[in-house]
Structure 1
């Protein structure tokens, strides 16, 4: 099964390991389910990772006027506003030091709105390969690049397809996958390791935040994003999670309020796939990548052995 590698989940700190600010930008065959009021759900899209260009942009409307969508058509509007600064600080702490040591190239798997990409550009003089097949996120990424200097933009190659289809070989001495791996089903996760291994140079380093190791026991409130004021309006989001057929269903409910009244409310749902550290290690080893000491406790690291 081919994969993409970028369908990130909007940032939120959760009790179990491996969920963070960009988890749902993973690629490929994740299922987006629109969530209606209360507990009813309606499946609106099943996206195949083999068809990264066909992510649906469908919308619906409930009886109470709540909009729902799939494929970041909802989340992209709120992404940077509600989590941009947190995302930027986290990216700098996690990746800037390693990026500063890169000399040949850096691979950003699941570049999303480009916050990590910009951090890598600032920290390194190396060229960047930014992989982002989701059109809504790619639009935000290009808008971010438009605000940078021409010299920085010249160092970015944007790949609008999955990491597997990008066909990258021996191009980078550093690869980062920020909050992506949790969003990949096991088959896609394994094919992603294979593609990253091909893209890394000998002795190249991969940094990523691991997926959760277990399912929650039931439906739980995870946290909130915001509030952030824009003129008279207050933007925010509530996040819940629940177990469902071997994966974690994460629901982001975005809301905009003015004078204490809800102007609109929109939801988007993403799926995360748990995996133990032992599973991850075995998958990496099968693709010629060896687990090494990570620079931070919330990351895992793997290296392609030197020849």
Structure 2
């Protein structure tokens, strides 16, 4: 996975409010119903983590191996009240190494699954199934099902002004050797003059719903109806308690 060394500087400034609204719509209701811990896989700068803490009263496990994003995550947590900070555990290692077994009643993987190559993705399902209690629910963003036909520019991010400076980003995607390559190009301008420009690329692996269903089933997870059309949902059947 990418280390986000470029994007971490710009992420919250350009994307936080949009991501927060989306997270509240997609995950807050499920978190409010959680009676066991909630797992935030790939917590990033902590936008989803904060939504989960606000919506629930249970412990939250935030998994974030990338140091640059984890620094932003901890800065966000530092600004929260002590009661919410007391409920969150930050894991600096991948889920497979976190030692979470039958811990969570809800697992969230926001903007993560598409970034995993097929082998890593299949391993992730097994790790998530291990972390979920029987009857636990997984919610994740559906990866792309097909590759784009050619280069395409997506909706730009920003501009956002900070003092005399203007921050923005262009986002492009294109097919590249069987994956969808997304490139973020960040720019900082002062009074119309360019100060800095930096880019970071991310590869997204497509997967059809049928393929995901087979992979999830192999890990002991059953696909169920998701609360949002952009999400896929799966749960660990209660019957798994007799097999694990």
Shorter-chain TM-score: which interval? over 0.9
3-state SS of 2:155 partner = strand
In structure 2, what is the equivalent of residue 51 of structure 1? none
Equivalent of 2:136 in 200, 204, 229: 204
Root-mean-square deviation (CA, aligned residues, Å) is 0.8
In structure 1, what is the equivalent of residue 83 of structure 2? 151
**Which string of whole-angstrom CA distances, capped at 9 and with x for unpartnered residues, describes residues 157-212 of structure 1?**
11111111112101110000001000000000000000000000110000001100
In structure 2, what is the equivalent of residue 231 of structure 1? 163
Taking structure 2 as the reference length, what is the TM-score of the superposition? 0.96
Equivalent of 1:80 in 3, 12, 23: 12
In structure 2, what is the equivalent of residue 45 of structure 1? none
Structure number with higher relative contact order (C-alpha < 8 Å, ≥ 6 residues apart):
1
1:293 & 1:240 partners in 2: Cα distance? 31
In structure 2, what is the equivalent of residue 188 of structure 1? 120
In structure 2, what is the equivalent of residue 58 of structure 1? none
Answering whether residue 102 of structure 2 is matched by residue 175 of structure 1, we say: no
**Which string of whole-angstrom CA distances, capped at 9 and with x for unpartnered residues, describes residues 268-304 of structure 1?**
1111100111000100000000000101111110010
Answering whether residue 163 of structure 2 is matched by residue 213 of structure 1, we say: no
In structure 1, what is the equivalent of residue 180 of structure 2? 248
Note the C-alpha offset of 1:230. Answer: 0.6
Answering whether residue 67 of structure 2 is matched by residue 135 of structure 1, we say: yes
In structure 1, what is the equivalent of residue 231 of structure 2? 299
3-state SS of 1:223 partner = coil
In structure 1, what is the equivalent of residue 92 of structure 2? 160
2:192 & 2:45 partners in 1: Cα distance? 30
Structure 1 residue ranges, 4+ long, deviating more than 3 angstroms after superposition: none
Note the C-alpha offset of 1:217. Answer: 1.2
Unaligned runs of 5+ in 1: 1-29, 33-70
Query: Between Structure 1 and Structure 2, how many residues are aligned?
Result: 239
Unaligned runs of 5+ in 2: 240-244
Note the C-alpha offset of 1:132. Answer: 0.4
In structure 1, what is the equivalent of residue 242 of structure 2? none
2:180 & 2:97 partners in 1: Cα distance? 27
Answering whether residue 26 of structure 2 is matched by residue 94 of structure 1, we say: yes
**Which string of whole-angstrom CA distances, capped at 9 and with x for unpartnered residues, describes residues 81-110 of structure 1?**
001100110000000000000011000000
In structure 1, what is the equivalent of residue 195 of structure 2? 263
- Is the helix fraction higher in 1 or 2? 2
2:32 & 2:108 partners in 1: Cα distance? 13
Note the C-alpha offset of 1:218. Answer: 1.4
Taking structure 1 as the reference length, what is the TM-score of the superposition? 0.77
